[in-house]
Structure 1
Amino acid sequence: MPSDKITITWQSTGGEAQKQEAEALQGPFTAKTGVKFNNVTSLSYISQVQTMVKSGKTVWDVVHTGSYLAKAYCGTLFEKIDMSRMPATQVPEGTTTECSVPGTKFATEFAYNTTAYKGNVPTKINDFFDTKTFPGKRVFYNNPKGILEAALVADGVAPEQLYPLDVDRALKKLGTIKSDIIFAPSYTAFQQNLVDKQATMALGLNGRLHITNESGGTMAPVWDFTSWDYTAWLIPKGAPNAKAAEEAVAFALEPEQLIKFCAMNGLTPVRTDIDLNKIPFTETAKVFNPFLGSDRGRQARQDNTFWAENIAEVTKKWTAWQVG
């Protein structure tokens, strides 16, 4: 089929982020090849992929998803790809699967409202849990990834010894401030809590924190401990345009496209051969980017094997603790 007759259906996160993918990744690919794109979004995308694959009626060609899902479903829900066409040697060890090479990374970091604390300000992750010295509500998106890691480090676990996570210990630590936690049901709600100053501290994604400040927030990062993760673009089993989709993913992972994409949203390329200092991040994005420089505290990569194997059990415990 001529390339200008192909339309790739691309599932992603929606909103501004999907518009940025269309501009930075898809538009240039269309200009180069003639291949067009149809963008879709769904909160239940994994369930939908499962249904498509099981029925043999896959209609999506690319799915933008997190590292642990790429790990958990490689070969079952997602196609294995030709690694010779991907920058597999340009990313950290342990971040690839037979189905994926990571594109961008992001971090769960600690930040505080600069109007709430003067003089004596938070300087370490333990301060998130110290409501006596630093009173006020704490907010995070209602998802345990990144939050449990922060709780354990605050409780004395070394970042390099986090996994396998002691979930019960982490929840016990979070329980010490449970009455002061706001569980945001969405990232939009998370940001609004901070802009409206309903919460004075946050554990949140660096991209969301910089958007918060660009929307009127007055947050500042605390560079003590940060955990990070990454996403990838995968091809569902039985994708109708699998060959073109693989070409599009390889194109998206090239430096030129990644740099343009990350400059738009404050995310960071996983590729180690890209000089981050040459990416035209906004000044606000630079403030919250934990990967710019060596003075931004201790860091740990979220273990995708642990999360792939334990997400159901951890979520069950998280939900029971939250409502208990």
Structure 2
Amino acid sequence: MKTYRFLTTIAIGTLLLSACGVGGDSGTGAADEKALTWASTGGQFQEDEKKALQEPFTASTGTKFTNISPAEQAQVRTMVKAGKTIWDLANMSWIYAGAYCGELFEKLDDPALDRSKFPEGTTGDCFVPTYRYANIFSYNADLYPGEKPTKINDFFDTKRFPGKRVVYDYPKAGLFEAALVADGVAPEAVYPIDLDRAFKKIDTIKDSLVFAPSYGAIQQMMVDKQAGMVLTVTARTIVSAQSGAKLVPVWDFNTTDIGALVIPKGAPHKALAQQMLAFVTEPAQSIAYAKLTGTAPARPEIDLNSVGYTEEQKKYNAFLPDRGRTLEQDKQWWIDNTDALVKRWTSWKVG
């Protein structure tokens, strides 16, 4: 089943204004053979991409970058359908690239993008991982001065551990897998997800759940102590802690996932964009990006001890030894089921 058909198509004129520099950096235009237009999330994370990934590529090849934000699937659809693709690379969920591979996104065919270099189950025809992260369960130490949560089951135990639980308002944020494991399912048996069983388990804490519209909102809620527990991504956990939230990670069970740069269909510089993708996953750039963000390099042969993580980054890194059970989110299951699950999720929240 193709996903995200519900996304609204935006006006082409607005898109072209954005792509030409509104909301982005000024830079060399797409007509330049040594130029790439890069769409991403904006904020500090895009600044980290510039420093760790783009600047070294410019130094090595002379390629200039135009940076655009935000990177949205609706914009990709509009560009491709109009035959006016402007972006060369976009930092967005691999689900889009998996669902619309060859239709809205280019298949990756550069031999340098050797999929054997990456962990099993983390690649597709239109995507390879550029970094790895986890959906981390942690709690605010200030709100649990006595007994402490020690396992994923405690996220679903509001009698022993009362208080609000913050989750990102999107099904793929680790909640469904966590619900099943807390309900007694072995991690290796989580997929295919038994949605009826998962929803039944999540129902037990529905009144205590806060559905955050953004990662920034999650960060603010945890800093302001509006909730006692949170399930969120590595980088946002680190930033929340740096902003003053006394978060303690619970290393029992967490899901892991990948970040990806994808190439929209009809990208002006597909070959150069693929060279950039290969460059991004090389050890030097992977280590530099991981050091800035606290995420993990995509390629498993890179020694995490070589990254130079701060002590705070190490505290929230699910890929270090002795961090409990982890489960890589099943890419094909999410590609096939996200559309239906988002609809069910939306109805469930208001039901």
TM-score interval, normalised by the smaller of the two chains:
over 0.9
How far did residue 83 of structure 1 move?
Answer: 4.1
Q: Whole-Å Cα distance in 1 between the matches of residues 110 and 84 of structure 2?
A: 26
Task: Determine if contact 2:94/2:262 at 8 Å carries over to the other structure.
Answer: no
Q: Whole-Å Cα distance in 1 between the matches of residues 251 and 65 of structure 2?
A: 40
User: Is the counterpart of residue 200 in structure 1 residue 234 in structure 2?
Assistant: no
TM-score, normalising length: structure 2: 0.88
For structure 2, list consecutive stretches of 5 or more residues without a partner in the other structure.
Answer: 1-30
User: Is the counterpart of residue 167 in structure 1 residue 195 in structure 2?
Assistant: yes
Q: Whole-Å Cα distance in 2 between the matches of residues 57 and 272 of structure 1?
A: 37
Match of 1:101 in 2: 128
SS at match of 1:251: helix
Match of 1:251 in 2: 279
Look up the equivalent residue of 2:244 and give its one-letter code. Answer: G
Q: Whole-Å Cα distance in 2 between the matches of residues 68 and 162 of structure 1?
A: 19
Moved more, 163-172 or 146-155: 163-172
2:332 to 294, 302, 305: 305
User: Is the counterpart of residue 66 in structure 1 residue 93 in structure 2?
Assistant: yes
Q: Whole-Å Cα distance in 2 between the matches of residues 32 and 119 of structure 1?
A: 54
Task: Determine if contact 1:159/1:300 at 8 Å carries over to the other structure.
Answer: yes
Match of 1:262 in 2: 290
How far did residue 101 of structure 1 move?
Answer: 1.8
* Equivalence map 1:28-67=2 (5 Å): 28-42=56-70, 45-67=72-94
* Equivalence map 1:105-254=2 (5 Å): 105-145=132-172, 146-254=174-282
How far did residue 218 of structure 1 move?
Answer: 0.2
SS at match of 1:268: coil
Task: Determine if contact 2:222/2:240 at 8 Å carries over to the other structure.
Answer: yes
- Any idea what the Cα deviations from partners look like across 1:261-312, whole Å, max 9, x if unmatched? 110011111201100111111211110111011x111111111101101111
For structure 1, list consecutive stretches of 5 or more residues without a partner in the other structure.
Answer: none
- Any idea what the Cα deviations from partners look like across 1:137-168, whole Å, max 9, x if unmatched? 11111111111111111111111111111222
Q: Quote the RMSD (CA, aligned, Å).
A: 1.7
Q: Whole-Å Cα distance in 2 between the matches of residues 244 and 69 of structure 1?
A: 21
How far did residue 69 of structure 1 move?
Answer: 2.4
How far did residue 5 of structure 1 move?
Answer: 5.5
Q: Whole-Å Cα distance in 1 between the matches of residues 202 and 120 of structure 2?
A: 32
SS at match of 2:111: helix
Q: Whole-Å Cα distance in 1 between the matches of residues 221 and 52 of structure 2?
A: 30
Q: Whole-Å Cα distance in 2 between the matches of residues 59 and 311 of structure 1?
A: 27
Match of 2:4 in 1: none
Match of 1:271 in 2: 299
How far did residue 4 of structure 1 move?
Answer: 6.9
Q: Whole-Å Cα distance in 2 between the matches of residues 185 and 232 of structure 1?
A: 22
Match of 2:309 in 1: 281
How far did residue 247 of structure 1 move?
Answer: 1.5
SS at match of 2:144: coil
Task: Determine if contact 2:253/2:325 at 8 Å carries over to the other structure.
Answer: yes
User: Is the counterpart of residue 14 in structure 1 residue 22 in structure 2?
Assistant: no
- Any idea what the Cα deviations from partners look like across 1:168-190, whole Å, max 9, x if unmatched? 22122111111111111111110
Moved more, 73-82 or 253-262: 73-82
- Any idea what the Cα deviations from partners look like across 1:19-56, whole Å, max 9, x if unmatched? 1101110011111111111111226x212111211221
Task: Determine if contact 1:4/1:35 at 8 Å carries over to the other structure.
Answer: no
Look up the equivalent residue of 2:263 and give its one-letter code. Answer: I
Number of equivalences: 322
SS at match of 1:231: strand
Q: Whole-Å Cα distance in 2 between the matches of residues 236 and 190 of structure 1?
A: 30
Task: Determine if contact 1:49/1:77 at 8 Å carries over to the other structure.
Answer: yes
* Equivalence map 1:84-95=2 (5 Å): 84-95=111-122
Look up the equivalent residue of 2:223 and give its one-letter code. Answer: V
Task: Determine if contact 1:87/1:253 at 8 Å carries over to the other structure.
Answer: no
SS at match of 2:142: coil
Question: Deviation above 4 Å: which 4+ runs of structure 1?
Answer: none
Q: Whole-Å Cα distance in 2 between the matches of residues 161 and 284 of structure 1?
A: 32
Look up the equivalent residue of 1:58 and give its one-letter code. Answer: T
Task: Determine if contact 2:121/2:330 at 8 Å carries over to the other structure.
Answer: no
SS at match of 1:85: coil
